[in-house]
Each structure stands twice: as C-alpha cells, then as structure tokens.
Chains A and B, each alone.
Chain A
Amino acid sequence: MTMNRHESFEELISASLTEELTETERQRLDAHLATCAQCTSTLAAFSDQRRIMAGVRHVGPPRDLGARVRTGIERGRFATLPWWRQPATIFAGVGGSLAAVAGALLAVVLLNGSPDEPQLGDASPTPTASITQEPSDGVTTLPPVQSSAPSAEPASAAPASAAPASAAPASAAPSPSIAPSPSVGPSASAAPAPTASPAEASPEPDVYLALTGPFDNLALTVRHGPTGETIAELDTPSGPPIAAELSPDGQWLAYITQLGQSGMNEIRVSRIATAPGDDSTIGVGDTVVLGESLAGSPFLEQMSWSSEGRYLAFTLADPDGGETDVWVFDTVNGEPRQLSDVGNAYAGDWIPGGDGVTSRLWVSLAQETPISYVLALRDDAPLGPAEPAEIGTNRADGVFQPLLSSDGGLAIFWQGRMARVGEEWLFSEDGAPYLAEHDITGATFAFSNERPLFSDLSPDGDAFASAAISWGTDGDAYAVWGTQWTGDSPDGETPYPDGGRVYFGHATDPRGLTQTHAIDASDLPDDARVVDLKVSPTGRHLVITALRPIGGAQEAPRADLLFIERNTGGVSDEVFTLGSADDGWFGPAAFDEAP
C-alpha cells in the first residue's frame, strides 16, 4: 500500500496539533500548506475536531466511587473468591485441632515473611534474608557459595529452640510443624509415617485432581485440599493427570493427562471458578483441550501461568518427528495460539509483571548449545507463530528453560551440550541445572552469579539428561526429582543423584543441593515413582503424586497423593495421605497462591 502525498502530510498535520513537530517537519509542512488547499482543509478539520473534543463535558465519577473502591480493597478480593479460596472457609467446619494447626501454620507464614527471619542455613555467616525480604533496591542476591563438599558438620546446629516470645501465642497450639527440632536422633524411619485425614494433612490451601471410580467409568474431579470436597467435576480424560498448574487467580487449572498407552499426552485447561459478573462462555467445569503432545522429559511438560493469570504457556511436541513449539492459552478469549514456529522451542517461565506491564515469556531453543529469548506479548500486536530469534527482545546464550522464583529475582536454568535423543532434545555433556540471579529491576533479564544446583557433583563430560524442577512460591524453596544422571555415583556405591529420590533445597542455602538434601526414602511407598511434586507456599511442605506400580495392562493406574512435612535435625519427615491409591488416582496438586 502506498501513501499519497496528502496522507504523508496528514501525519504532520496531526502531530502539529500537539506541537510535536521537529523544526524540519514544521518547515516542510508550512511550505506544503501554502500551496495545498486539501491539506489546509484537513488542518482546519483536525483543529476543529480537537476543539470539539476539548469541549465535551467532563463527567465526574459517582459519589460513592471511593467507598466502592475501599470496599473492594477491604473485602472484594475475598467476596469475589469461590468458597474454597476464602480463608474463612478453609478452616470452617473442622475440629479444634485442625484450627490449632492452621493457626500455627499461619503464624509460620507470617514469620516467614518477616524481614529478618533467619531462613535455613542459620549457620551461614551470610544473612539469608535477601531472598524473602523486599530489599530497598529490589535486587535479589544469592548468598556466597559454601564449600561444595558434603557438609559433615550439619549446619543445623542453628538455634532450634529459640522461638521468639512474639511467636508464642500462635505456636502454643500443638503442631508438628513448629515443634522444636531435636538436635539428635536417628534418621532412619523404616515404616511409612502414620497417615491422617486429608483435612488435618493439608492445612495449606491447595487443590488436587482425583481420578476415581471403576476402571471403565472413571470420574475426574478437582478437590479442595483441606477438606477433600469436590470443587468441580471435569471431563474424564483417557488417562491419568500427571501435571497440574493453578492460575494465580484460582480460576483455571491447567493439567496434562496421559492418552492411554499411546506415548502421547493431552494438555487441557479447565475452568474451576469464575468471578462474579463474569459472563465468559467457559463455565465452571468446562474444559478446553489445548493439544496433544509427545510424552517425554520434564522439559516438555513445563506449563507456566503469567503472574496476572491471563496466559498459560506450554509446549507441544509433534508426534511426527518430535518438533516442539511453544503455545499460549489466552484466558480472555479462551483460545490457544501458537507462539513459535521453529520446531525446537520449549516454553520457559513468565517474567513476573502485573497489570499495565507487558507479559514477557522466556522461550528456549533446544540445540547443541541452547539459547533462550524473551518474547513480549501485547494485546495490540499478537505474536506468532514466529521465530524467537526474530521477535525476541532479550537473549541468553547457553541457557535453557529458565524457571523463575515467584518474584523473578532468581532462576534455575540448564546449561550444557544438548543432543537429539529419539524424538526429543536432552542434555548430553556437562548438562546440569544452575541457580542464578535474574535481573528484573534493570529489565535486562540477564542471569548472573550462576552456580551448579548440585554443588557436590562435577559433570566432567557426564550430564543430567533431564530432571523435573519445581519452585515454591516463597521464592526460596525448590525441589528436584526424576533426575536422569548419565555418570556414576560419586562414591561408587550410593546411587546419587537417584532418579527415584526427591532433593529439596533452598536458594538461601549456600551449600546448594547435596546428597544430604534428599527427602527420606521412607516418605514414598516402596517402588513408587514420583509423577508430580509441588512445594507449599511456606516452603516447608511438599505434596507429591506417587505412582504405584501397576499390576497389569488391565489394571487402572493408581497414585497416592502425599503431603510431606519436612523435618530436620534428626526427626523423620511426617507423611500424610491426602488421597490413597487404593481408591484411585490422586494428584497432581496445585497450591493456591494467597488470595
């Protein structure tokens, strides 16, 4: 389309109304207006228009706007929440003992958010509060690296009994979560920990999926963690759900289900709550199938909600050739759209933003030396499908699939050489996850001060082919499981890293992850395999979906949903069963962010 000569001057005329012409433009326009009646007329019309616009009535807001806003701030956020997200109902209708536990845990949350609260690794000479507090300059930093040798002297000698007086009222209630940790004691606990009712086991707000019923008539429901009550009934999939992510506003649950024995997964998103007045065509219980994808490594099964809850990013791998591309589901129009078109792209994590901030997503390209790009999504300029290298606003060489802490200040990403294995990309040489700082305050989105997540391992040509990683919303706790380590165990005896174990660490721990960071082996049933894991908002609990061995092709898959309270200082972890595999498939769970 070509612009006629008048149109080119119309833009100058328009800009002249707000006195935004350069001197050169002004002279050019004046010279043209002197000889062009049409543009002179346009100038007059535009000037009139601006006068008309300036003359329209300014309509003031309703008198009660301030009160309405105040009410919305004070109560609205709870009033618009579904029952299962409202704090009052989380603990309503349950016994006094649960209320006591809940109260204690809430106290823990408050203490956890205090600026000077010593986090784990109290023995560290470096203050460890930098992750959880809000520093004045907004910069998140990592503590100095401690020796990577496994710590023979536990750092735990930390003040295990110096509960502050201010915490006493809340902590007076009997609660295993806040009991002072004995400093000595054998760690082995051969028998699984005793179980408790789901309500007692899950005082932190969470939801979980449950696939129950006879084999030929399974029903998929979303359950409320603390009470076990059903929130929504969903379309029954062809296989069990193996991953789930709840949107920050609690309205959408994204999950991956296996498509029988086909080696394929299906990615779905279901509406499980609506805000009052929302007349979206997608109602509670409705499900949108986002696509089918090859089943594979955790790299493929990464789903991420943007911080304002509008977008879900996910990866689809084509069964014909395994080409992978990144897709985004937009909750506003209820439709998925393809973001990348390169065949080796994987979804990373969203960079935290908010209303009025452009949504930015890390997208990684799997190749011999991986690379990651930041893609910006704008309403007025929908992206994709496109090549990330052409539309990316920032890039990080050698970085693969960065997963960000809740405030975006830290990242766990992969580095190393990648290779095509079968129909997907895995790490081959020196591949390992790293913990790093991530610059969001300067918007460079640069990674710095990276350190190996597993501090007591040196790849030296070996690699973690892959592993699953999950951050807690406290921005400090994280867990790694399903490690696929190509090398030998460092001591040649104890399997380490063990693909069957869960490694639970904290970014503020200068030691990183070591062999000692594995949760108790007895936390999981014999021969069970971890399918999914979530770290609780307090950074203290884990909810694990554990697949029970299947007896035969005719047996329905079964999984336990376990709530694990991590204990330290010689006390065994406590394990509660939220849903028993004896009754079907329970999990994955998703923690509800504090409304």
Chain B
Amino acid sequence: MEDEVHSMAVPGQIPWDIPTMTRRATDAREAEFAQLFDEFSAPIHNYVLRMVGDPDRAADITQDTFIKAYRKLDTVTEASSTRSWLYRIATNTAIDDMRRRRMVTPMGDDAPAFANRPDPRPGPEAQVMAATLDERVQRALMKLRPNHRQCLLLSDLDDMGAQQIGDVMGLSYAAVRTLLCRARGEMRRALSAEGFAR
C-alpha cells in the first residue's frame, strides 16, 4: 500500500459553499443559454430547414443543435465566435442527419426526399406556374451539392462574410470565395431549370 493519503473521504474543511456556488454557476449558464436561444433559434431553424428541406427534420435538428450547444456551452471562449460555433454545430448535426439518411455522397448531389417524390402535375411549365417562388427556390437549393448549399445559405440567407463562413465550415477565406462562386454558378443553373430567367 502507498504511504500517502488520497482518500476522497478526508477532504478536510471545505471553505466554499458548494451548493451556492453550483447554483450561481447554473443560473449564469441558464441565462447565457436563454439569451443564445432567443437570439439564434429562429435563424438556425431557418438555415437548417433550407439545408434539409423538411420541416420535421429541421425541427429535430434545431432541437438537437441547442441541446448540444447547452452541453458544450463552456467551450465557447469568445462571445464573438458564438454565432459561428452555433452554426457549425447546426451544420454538423444536419450533415450527420443527412448521412444517416444516405442523402450525402462525397461528390455527387444528394437526393432530397421531396424532390424525388412522384410529381402528379402535368408538365414542367404548369409545375413552374403552380409552384410558389419559395418552393421553386427550395427545389433549386436541394439540387446543389451539400457544401455548395451550405455555403450559399450562409452567405445569402444569413448574410455571413467569407471569413465567418470559413469559421463555420473549417475553410480558409480563399477556399470560401472559390466555393461560393461555384455554388452561385450551380444555383444559377438550378434556378434556370426552375423557370427563373437568366
């Protein structure tokens, strides 16, 4: 046996009031999280919805995003990086969800569920006319590669600059500019197929 004491049974005097400290820490954490949720739940949900194109899944992913965020709240060291951090959690959660559903392949287009549904409508023109602008844009988005879609949404929906998009996606500034250009080109073709001019 060892000639030392490291028994947890003999901690000596505890100078701090642990329950009070714990409560204070918990209160501060709750307040920080409440603020985070108030500020970001709507934009994160909207972003995720556009990423996956399915309201039920978007709600689940947003829910999981904030549960994960709560658990990892103490890993955020700078307030300025909170937005990127949260979007990154949302993005990873959405990507994991898509992977599980086998919607993502490394290079090809994913296969959005609703885009593959049999369409009973008569033809492309009627289809275009009948669909709302929102549906057509979403359908175009779902034709993009996931990283193109992600990049385009962060830029044009969430108004992030290339630097912040890089923080979310783990890419350099230059890589984001290139990716975003390709995404715009791909989106241009997808919108054109949905009947948008140019």
Which residue numbers of A lie inside 8 Å of B, CB to CB? 10-11, 13-15, 18, 20, 41-42, 44-46, 48-50, 52-62, 65-66, 68-69, 72-73, 76-77, 108, 110-112, 114-122, 134, 138, 151, 154-164, 166-167, 171, 177-181, 187, 278-280, 332-333, 353-358, 378-382, 441, 504, 506, 509, 516-520, 538-540, 566-573
Query: Which one, B5, B16, B63, B89, contacts A120 given CB within 8 A?
Result: B5
Q: Are A540 and B18 in contact (CB under 8 A)?
A: no
Which chain A positions have C-beta within 8 A of B134?
A: 56-57
Q: Are B4 and A69 in contact (CB under 8 A)?
A: no
Mark interface residues in B87-122 (1 if CB within 8 Å of A CB, else 0): 011001101100111000010000000000000000
Closest chain-B Cβ to A531's Cβ sits at a distance in Å of 23
Judge whether B46 is part of the interface by a CB distance below 8 angstroms: yes
Expressed in whole angstroms, the Cα–Cα distance for A333 and B104 within the complex equals: 11
- Which among A155, A568, A571 has the greatest number of chain B C-beta atoms within 10 A? A568
Which chain B positions have C-beta within 8 A of A111?
A: 8, 11, 14
Q: Which residue on B lies nearest to A569, using beta carbons?
A: B5
| Cβ < 8 Å to A, chain B residues 155-198 | 155-157, 161-162, 169-171, 177-178, 180-181, 184-185, 187-188, 191, 196-198
Closest chain-B Cβ to A129's Cβ sits at a distance in Å of 11
Q: Are A11 and B6 in contact (CB under 8 A)?
A: no
Q: Given A14-B181, A156-B5 in contact, is the A59-B49 Cβ separation under 8 Å?
A: yes
Which chain B positions have C-beta within 8 A of A567?
A: 1, 7
Q: Are A166 and B18 in contact (CB under 8 A)?
A: yes
Judge whether B55 is part of the interface by a CB distance below 8 angstroms: yes
Q: Are B100 and A279 in contact (CB under 8 A)?
A: yes
8 closest A-B pairs (Cβ-Cβ)? A120-B6, A178-B9, A154-B3, A53-B156, A356-B88, A61-B45, A14-B181, A156-B5
Q: Given A116-B14, A178-B7, A566-B2 in contact, is the A73-B70 Cβ separation under 8 Å?
A: yes
Q: Are A66 and B6 in contact (CB under 8 A)?
A: no
- Which among B8, B21, B59, B178 has the greatest number of chain A C-beta atoms within 10 A? B8
Expressed in whole angstroms, the Cα–Cα distance for A426 and B124 within the complex equals: 69
Query: Which one, B8, B50, B147, B184, contacts A177 given CB within 8 A?
Result: B8
Q: Are B14 and A117 in contact (CB under 8 A)?
A: yes
Expressed in whole angstroms, the Cα–Cα distance for A573 and B2 within the complex equals: 9
Query: Which one, A44, A53, A572, contacts B198 given CB within 8 A?
Result: A44
Q: Are B9 and A179 in contact (CB under 8 A)?
A: yes
Closest chain-B Cβ to A530's Cβ sits at a distance in Å of 17
Q: Given A44-B198, A380-B171 in contact, is the A332-B63 Cβ separation under 8 Å?
A: no
Expressed in whole angstroms, the Cα–Cα distance for A151 and B4 within the complex equals: 10
Judge whether B72 is part of the interface by a CB distance below 8 angstroms: yes
Q: Are B14 and A52 in contact (CB under 8 A)?
A: no
Which residue numbers of B lie inside 8 Å of A, CB to CB? 1-16, 18, 21, 37, 41-42, 45-46, 49-50, 55, 59, 62-64, 66-72, 74-75, 77, 85-86, 88-89, 92-93, 95-96, 99-101, 106, 133-134, 137-138, 147, 152-153, 155-157, 161-162, 169-171, 177-178, 180-181, 184-185, 187-188, 191, 196-198
Query: Which one, A52, A58, A539, contacts B137 given CB within 8 A?
Result: A52
Query: Which one, A48, A178, A382, A517, contacts B8 given CB within 8 A?
Result: A178
Closest chain-B Cβ to A47's Cβ sits at a distance in Å of 10
Closest chain-A Cβ to B37's Cβ sits at a distance in Å of 7
Which chain A positions have C-beta within 8 A of B3?
A: 151, 154-156, 516, 568-569
Which chain A positions have C-beta within 8 A of B153?
A: 53
Expressed in whole angstroms, the Cα–Cα distance for A151 and B72 within the complex equals: 42
Closest chain-A Cβ to B7's Cβ sits at a distance in Å of 5
Q: Given A49-B191, A166-B18 in contact, is the A159-B10 Cβ separation under 8 Å?
A: yes
Q: Are B1 and A14 in contact (CB under 8 A)?
A: no
Expressed in whole angstroms, the Cα–Cα distance for A20 and B163 within the complex equals: 10
Closest chain-A Cβ to B60's Cβ sits at a distance in Å of 8
Expressed in whole angstroms, the Cα–Cα distance for A59 and B42 within the complex equals: 8
Expressed in whole angstroms, the Cα–Cα distance for A18 and B152 within the complex equals: 12
Closest chain-B Cβ to A24's Cβ sits at a distance in Å of 15
Which chain B positions have C-beta within 8 A of A52?
A: 133, 137, 191, 196
Which chain A positions have C-beta within 8 A of B187?
A: 49
Query: Which one, A117, A156, A378, A569, contacts B11 given CB within 8 A?
Result: A117
Contacts A159-B10, A162-B12 known; 18 new A-B pairs at CB < 8 A: A10-B185, A13-B181, A50-B156, A52-B196, A56-B50, A59-B46, A59-B55, A66-B41, A73-B70, A155-B4, A156-B4, A160-B7, A164-B13, A178-B7, A354-B72, A355-B72, A509-B4, A566-B2
Expressed in whole angstroms, the Cα–Cα distance for A48 and B191 within the complex equals: 10
Expressed in whole angstroms, the Cα–Cα distance for A155 and B5 within the complex equals: 7
Q: Are B85 and A356 in contact (CB under 8 A)?
A: yes
Expressed in whole angstroms, the Cα–Cα distance for A41 and B185 within the complex equals: 12
Q: Are A121 and B196 in contact (CB under 8 A)?
A: no
Expressed in whole angstroms, the Cα–Cα distance for A451 and B126 within the complex equals: 76
Q: Are A163 and B9 in contact (CB under 8 A)?
A: yes
Expressed in whole angstroms, the Cα–Cα distance for A181 and B8 within the complex equals: 10
Closest chain-B Cβ to A555's Cβ sits at a distance in Å of 33
Pairs across A and B, CB under 8 Å, 15 listed = A14-B177, A18-B161, A45-B188, A46-B184, A53-B156, A66-B41, A69-B37, A72-B67, A116-B16, A138-B77, A156-B3, A161-B10, A162-B10, A333-B99, A354-B75
Q: Which residue on A lies nearest to B168, using beta carbons?
A: A356
Q: Are B92 and A379 in contact (CB under 8 A)?
A: yes
Q: Are A11 and B7 in contact (CB under 8 A)?
A: no
Closest chain-B Cβ to A409's Cβ sits at a distance in Å of 14
Query: Which one, A55, A163, A380, contacts B10 given CB within 8 A?
Result: A163
Q: Are B12 and A164 in contact (CB under 8 A)?
A: yes
Q: Are B37 and A66 in contact (CB under 8 A)?
A: yes
Expressed in whole angstroms, the Cα–Cα distance for A356 and B88 within the complex equals: 5
Q: Are B63 and A68 in contact (CB under 8 A)?
A: yes
Closest chain-B Cβ to A398's Cβ sits at a distance in Å of 30
Which chain A positions have C-beta within 8 A of B50?
A: 56
Expressed in whole angstroms, the Cα–Cα distance for A49 and B170 within the complex equals: 25
Which chain B positions have C-beta within 8 A of A355?
A: 68-69, 72, 88-89, 92-93
Q: Which residue on B lies nearest to A503, using beta carbons?
A: B2
Q: Are A180 and B10 in contact (CB under 8 A)?
A: yes
Q: Which residue on B lies nearest to A122, using beta carbons?
A: B5
Which chain B positions have C-beta within 8 A of A538?
A: 8
Q: Are A162 and B13 in contact (CB under 8 A)?
A: yes
Expressed in whole angstroms, the Cα–Cα distance for A155 and B3 within the complex equals: 7
Which chain B positions have C-beta within 8 A of A540?
A: 6-8
Q: Are B2 and A504 in contact (CB under 8 A)?
A: yes
Closest chain-A Cβ to B1's Cβ sits at a distance in Å of 5
Expressed in whole angstroms, the Cα–Cα distance for A167 and B10 within the complex equals: 10
Q: Are B155 and A166 in contact (CB under 8 A)?
A: no
Expressed in whole angstroms, the Cα–Cα distance for A18 and B158 within the complex equals: 12
Expressed in whole angstroms, the Cα–Cα distance for A187 and B1 within the complex equals: 6
